[in-house]
Amino acid sequence: MTIRLTRDKAIDLKKACKALRTASKPQTIREVARIIGKIVASFPGVMYGPLYHRELDKDKTQALKEAKGDFDATMALSQSAKTELHWWECHVENSFPKLTHEEPQQKITTDASGWGAEYQDISTGGCGLSLKLQITLTTLKC
């Protein structure tokens, strides 16, 4: 069993990435944002997908700042953004996450309250841990 994009969606995304990467004229920020949206929506079905969109998103954000929020302004893509688009072209159809992974080498178990834990023959829990947890959580809230 696998989780992957449908063939039609994968092909559509592949074509969109190629069209954006090889466009002879600058594209609108809106069009780039549309492609980024498609890429982000495909993350659950494309293994390592989240690693290959940041440069494209940075370019879009910078262009949007320079255009003072006008999505209809045009923008140019950096070489690193084009490289990311090329990765999507090459991998969108065949890169999908594994549903099963190998057995973990070590396990830590905890009770429902989260105050106690056990690792091999070592266990912890009780009031001291509770107090430490409260102090940590209080510190994090500030």
pLDDT for 59 equals: 98
pLDDT for 138 equals: 52
Closest CA to 128 of 119, 115, 141: 115
- Under-50 pLDDT residues of the chain: 128-131, 133, 137, 142
Closest CA to 76 of 20, 36, 38, 37: 20
For the chain, the structural domain boundaries read: 49-93
pLDDT for 7 equals: 94
Residue 90 in contact with residue 126, Cβ under 8 Å? Answer: no
